[in-house]
Amino acid sequence: MGKRRRVVLVQKKMKHIFSIAALLSCILSALLSFSQVPTLFNYQGIARAADGTPLANQQLSLKFAILPTADALLPEYEETQKVPTNAFGLYSVQSEMEHPQRCVL
């Protein structure tokens, strides 16, 4: 077998290996790109009275609503949660989009 023929065979093998690696890379990236939509969103705030003092160590009832337009009367999504505040009036909520009280999508 001539030296030139061996070089051509090695080049063909390398092209074949590169093609397989590129195909596997594409398949792997396609599989990893599938994602899920999160069902929770975090919200945090400080509750204050009308005079600006924090509402410390109290139980609050918070209502979340998503309106389709600024002048809409009926929300597309609505949820109410009871949350406690800490000594600074801080509260943290995880809103669950899976179990709303009212949801029209």
- Kindly state the average pLDDT of the residues 75-93: 91
**What single-letter DSSP state applies at residue 15?**
H
What is the pLDDT at residue 49?
Answer: 94
Q: pLDDT, tens digit, for every residue of 6-34?
A: 767 777 777 888 888 888 888 888 777 77
The answer to whether residue 105 scores a pLDDT higher than 60 is no
* Pairwise CA distance, residues 85 & 91, whole Å: 5
- Do 96 and 40 touch, CB atoms closer than 8 A? yes
The answer to whether residue 37 scores a pLDDT higher than 80 is no
SS3 track for 19-88: HHHHHHHHHHHHHHCCCCCCCEEEEEEECECCCCCECCCCEEEEEEEECCCCCCCCCCEEEEEEEECCCC
- Do 65 and 40 touch, CB atoms closer than 8 A? no
Q: pLDDT, tens digit, for every residue of 63-78?
A: 888 888 888 888 888 8
User: What mean pLDDT is reported for the chain?
Assistant: 82
The answer to whether residue 3 scores a pLDDT higher than 70 is no
pTM listed for this prediction: 0.55
What is the pLDDT at residue 74?
Answer: 86
